[in-house]
Amino acid sequence: MVNHTEDINVEITEKKVRSMLYAIKTDKSPGPDGIHPLFLQNTVEEVAGPITLIFKKSLAEGILPHECGTTGKGPIFHLYIG
């Protein structure tokens, strides 16, 4: 795990996550997590809550998965919540 969250100042809400999931381009390939965008869009109501909790916990603890530190992108960038 890598700590890259010191300068991140965002408010993550289930409503924002849901909105971003509905906006995902479903004709794209799966990301590094292997989850196809079409699956995420088709299960928004089921996955928005857990995804919100995961993002909040990650930011609160100041820890992101090691892969996020090496790729230059992280979950916040994949689902831009701004």
Instruction: Report the pLDDT value the prediction gives residue 66, as an integer from 0 to 100.
Output: 60
Q: Return the closest-CA partner of residue 2 out of 51, 75, 82, 79.
A: 75
Instruction: Report the pLDDT value the prediction gives residue 77, as an integer from 0 to 100.
Output: 47
* Residues 41, 24 contacting (CB under 8 angstroms): yes
Give the domain ranges of the chain: 14-78
Q: Return the closest-CA partner of residue 12 out of 78, 76, 77.
A: 76
| pLDDT tops 70 at residue 70 | no
Mean pLDDT of the chain: 78
The reported pTM is: 0.66
Q: Return the closest-CA partner of residue 78 out of 6, 27, 39, 23.
A: 23
Residue-wise pLDDT for 30-60, tens only, equals 988 889 999 999 999 999 999 999 888 988 8
| 50-55-60 Cα angle (round to 5) | 125
